[in-house]
Amino acid sequence: MKGPDQLMIYDVFLVGPPVSPMSLAEALAGAVKTERADVDVADRDGDQSRRDWTAPVLCGYLGLRGDLSSELDIYVDDALANETPAEPELARRLAMALGVPVLHPAEEDLPSAYWLATSSGESVRAWLYASDDEPPVYTIDAVESAVAQLSRVRVSDLPAIARRRGVR
């Protein structure tokens, strides 16, 4: 989505084991087709004084509990002009580069409805829940088709999403 000052803003989640900031920076550079030097990645709860706030690609990550390892807030400056893909494409590119599934919100106004980009480049619907704990524990409750890295997650048609789209 476009934000203030002509930024592309992405909010995605990584599934599975944590990814190093270096790997994340390299994957982001590839996803937006820029140089690694154009990407600044930092822990949102860490020391912000060492960040390169002038970098065209800024990524803040936050460690999570449960099925999700990280939440990523990504800002890409339009001045980069190489390529600013839509969120589903960015998620797909990250998943393939990092080798872990990447969740991004669905277009439907359903709080638990997400798309999951797999490391093989496919996209499947997913149902995500957060516990009431502080901090919350995230659980991928179901996916529309089997995902190798989520073999324990049930496969379901996710009828609530179909109903919202008017499909019966």
Give the mean model confidence (pLDDT) for residues 46-55.
94
pLDDT in tens, 107-129: 877 778 899 999 999 999 999 99
Task: Write down the domain spans for the chain.
Answer: 4-103, 105-164
Report which DSSP code applies to 164. Answer: H
pLDDT surpasses 60 at 79:
yes
Q: How confident is the model at residue 168 (pLDDT cuts 50, 70, 90)?
A: very low
Residue 1, pLDDT score: 46
Which amino acid, 92?
A: R
Task: List 152's β-bridge partners, or say none.
Answer: none
Residue 154, pLDDT score: 92
For residues 110 and 91, the model is more confident at 91
% of the chain at pLDDT higher than 70 = 89
For residues 113 and 24, the model is more confident at 24
The C-alpha atoms of residue 90 and residue 116 are separated, in whole angstroms, by 12
β-pairing verdict for 68-77 and 154-155: unpaired
Report which DSSP code applies to 58. Answer: E
Class of domain 4-103: alpha beta
Residue 156, pLDDT score: 87
Look at residue 104 and give its three-state secondary structure: strand
